[in-house]
Amino acid sequence: MAKRVYEVWEGKNKFFFGGRLIFGPDASSLLVTLLLIIVPVVIFCVFVARHLQHAFSPYNAGYAILVVAIVFTLFVLILLFVTSAREPGIIPRHSNPLEEEFQYGSSSAAVAEGRQKTSDQFPQTKEVLVHGIPVRVKYCCTCMLYRPPRCSHCSICDNCVERFDHHCGWVGQCIGLRNYRYFFMFISSATLLCIYVFSMSALNIKVLMDNYNGTVWKAMQKSPPSVILMAYCSIFLWFVGGLTGYHLYLIATNQTTRENHRSIAANGSNIYDRGCRSNFIEIFCTKTKPSRNNFRALAQEEVPQAEPEELGGELNPRPKVEDDLEIGEILLTISLRRNIEETDADICSRESNSPRNTLSEVESDPSSDHLAPTIRPDV
């Protein structure tokens, strides 16, 4: 039975619903992220927003606080799901090394010498032009291809990803060309949700102070969940808020996390920077490129090929032993029939009184010169 691409996928990804959803190998960490978002929101809705439902005029205006919290949380969870389950821009592997890649920019003598080398001896780098500027790209021995500019091989997912930013363990997926905008929208929305919960919890403390004419300490004693949520959001904001600010800087300068950490653009020669406005348009206002992979397509079965060997300066395939034996038997049969026909014709042409040799004599005489030589296949 033919298998589909996701069933024979060589990367470390996890597939669900028949290859419709793709996750990284650490997709289980996504459950931790869900708990970090859902649990505080549930506490907020039960212990904080419920007490603010009738705290404003008109009487039911406080319901908006609860509705906004629920809708905003669902929006954040949808962005998290899209970021995690979306194919990030994986470049399909090559099943065999590409010899023409080795010939790129090489002289004829180097090419002739290179034909004797294996794929792991290809030049590790070559130069391509980006906006008229030469950029060095590396050869990936795992995927057997030269990585496009800004592409990198993720050691966790074991894939080459276009415009690779980083592998995020919190979402269990690589962040690359096709899901970066959703990743940024997720962390920025989570930051706003965190600010919203913190603000409403502080508002609840203020309402309790006004209702009971007490101090902040007394109000905090009446609503411990509000205090816990404020402390939680303060800590959480340091991480997700700082991450949002950092990626705002990366988008404005058109860098990836990997490029920034490696200081590729530290000398002011970032060839991808087209201005702050154009950089934001590139991320948020351009059409997402279609995936290079169709995980639900039927996988093509590769026909095993013999390895070439050097014979007389030319690459000739070495046939298998089984093929040699089969071909040898066929040639022996053809040669035997041909020699028998020639023998019969020669006997018929002679007008002598000598008795005719029968076919059985020709076949049974092991010393006959007319027998075809035995073909011994080179094994």
- Confirm if 170 and 27 have CB atoms less than 8 A apart: no
What is the rounded CA–CA span in Å between residue 52 and residue 65? 8
What is the rounded CA–CA span in Å between residue 134 and residue 123? 17
Tell me the catalytic residues. Answer: 168
E strand map for the chain = 14-16, 21-23, 90-91, 125-130, 133-140, 145-146, 152-154, 159-161, 166-168, 173-175, 308-311, 314-317
What is the rounded CA–CA span in Å between residue 365 and residue 261? 84
Nearest to 239 by CA among 171, 177, 190: 190
What is the rounded CA–CA span in Å between residue 316 and residue 328? 19
- Confirm if 25 and 157 have CB atoms less than 8 A apart: yes
What is the rounded CA–CA span in Å between residue 86 and residue 93? 19
- Confirm if 170 and 186 have CB atoms less than 8 A apart: no
φ and ψ of 166, to 5 deg: -175, 170
User: Could you tell me what percentage of the chain is helix, strand and coil, using 3-state DSSP and rounding each to the nearest 5?
Assistant: 50, 10, 40
Residue 149, SS3? coil
What is the rounded CA–CA span in Å between residue 249 and residue 254? 8
The region that residue 329 occupies, defined by phi over 0 for left and psi between -120 and 50 for alpha, beta otherwise, is alpha
What is the rounded CA–CA span in Å between residue 284 and residue 182? 9
What is the rounded CA–CA span in Å between residue 165 and residue 255? 9
What is the rounded CA–CA span in Å between residue 319 and residue 165? 46
What is the rounded CA–CA span in Å between residue 21 and residue 173? 12
What is the rounded CA–CA span in Å between residue 5 and residue 299? 5
